[in-house]
Structure 1
Amino acid sequence: MPRIPAVKTADAGFLLKLFYKFAGKRFGAVPEPMAVVAHHPGLFKANGLHELLVEKASKSVPSNVRELAVYRVATQLGCSWCIDFGTMLQLHDGLDIDRLKNIDDYAKSPAFTDQERLALAYADAMTASPVTVTDGQVAELEREFGRKGVIELTYQIALENSRARMNSALGIAAQGFTSGDACRVPLP
């Protein structure tokens, strides 16, 4: 249970109820982090718009690479909600979620491509405290994904660091979007 409870539908205004309906249709449930942030309407609106714009703009890096990097941040920071939701998103994108069990061995596992390994190592370096990203790492990513791709990957990893840290601070845990290997939320 989160440290600050979610805004209940009965207590929501018209726009929040509309969002809850949209989120319920899209994800099968209202994402609890958004329902908690709804206590601050201005940040709720800003966050919702930001997430939609980031999703729409993130098309330079292959989705498997991007989603794995974001998932890696969630595992490194121990955000069970992010792991749960991220697994569901990968499943809905048609990605292989069985290999997520081997994420800690990505450097040696044949389940991951060279592109994915580069992005996963970058996610580790960006998530470390202090950050351990090197010039060589960025140069290699630029050769693989171009400048636009490096910016996109960096932005996505930084955003997931923010999400995971906020969810952890507020005590927001796995919501049940997935159950083991099977997704509880039906494919869209």
Structure 2
Amino acid sequence: MQPRINLMANEIATRFGKRFAAAGQVVEQSLPKNLQELVALRTSQINGCAFCVDMHTKEAAHAGESATRLNLVAAWREATVFTEAERAALALAEEATRLADGHHGVSDETWAQAREHYDEDRIAALVCLVALVNAANRLNVSVRNPAGSYEPGMLAAMQDSLQH
């Protein structure tokens, strides 16, 4: 499978990518890496973005996340391996991703659960992370970026190259 377009070789997409990468750095500095990867993985699973599922699974494993937890992200509600704080973040990610599935977006109940575990800055970072991952999913699904060849650290290298 070949992508429809190489976004890294397109001038407009590269200019956009620089700004997108800068926004991502704000989130990266605001949340623990394992939480970022769990939330990004679940969001990408919902959106069917194989490229991002591959990337976030491998980045999480590289950062020390266990195979058990990674394998259970899609079924987190029935799994005992996630903390209450992680469950709140995953619920927030799901509801913020599935906007078309519900008339309320993120429910007051889910928001209140997240607020029990995260201060205002971390909630803001979670909301921004979910928005960024949803945008990345849409980019990759639209151009049909294939999955399977991602290696840990490739995203960071790509972000570095965009900034120079």
Smaller-chain TM-score bracket = 0.7 to 0.9
Equivalent residue pairs, number: 150
Q: For residue 133 of structure 2, what is the aligned residue in structure 1?
A: 160
Shift of 1:73: 0.7
Deviations 1:55-100 (A, max 9, x none): 3543333222221011001111111110111111112212223322
Matched, 1:107 2:80: no
CA distance in 1, matches of 2:139, 2:12: 17
CA distance in 1, matches of 2:12, 2:144: 21
Q: 1:61–1:145: 8 Å Cα contact kept in structure 2?
A: no
CA distance in 2, matches of 1:129, 1:96: 30
CA distance in 1, matches of 2:74, 2:62: 22
Name the SS for the 1:107 alignment partner: helix
For residues 71-110 of structure 1, the aligned pairs below 5 Å read: 71-110=41-80
Q: For residue 169 of structure 1, what is the aligned residue in structure 2?
A: 142
Deviations 1:145-186 (A, max 9, x none): 1111111011111111111122111111203236xxxx8x9x
- TM-score with structure 2 setting the length: 0.79
Identify if the C-alpha distance between structure 1 residues 49 and 134 changes in structure 2 by more than 3 Å, giving closer, same or farther.
Answer: same
Q: Give, as a single letter, the amino acid of the residue that structure 2 aligns with 1:2.
A: Q
Which aligned runs of 4 or more in structure 1 are off by greater than 6 angstroms?
A: none
Identify if the C-alpha distance between structure 1 residues 175 and 108 changes in structure 2 by more than 3 Å, giving closer, same or farther.
Answer: closer
- TM-score with structure 1 setting the length: 0.70
Shift of 1:117: 0.8
Q: Which runs of 5+ in 1 are unaligned?
A: 6-35
Q: Give, as a single letter, the amino acid of the residue that structure 1 aligns with 2:148.
A: Q
Bigger radius of gyration: 1
Q: For residue 62 of structure 1, what is the aligned residue in structure 2?
A: 32
Q: Give, as a single letter, the amino acid of the residue that structure 1 aligns with 2:69.
A: R
Name the SS for the 1:38 alignment partner: helix
Q: Which moved more, 1:52-61 or 1:148-157?
A: 52-61
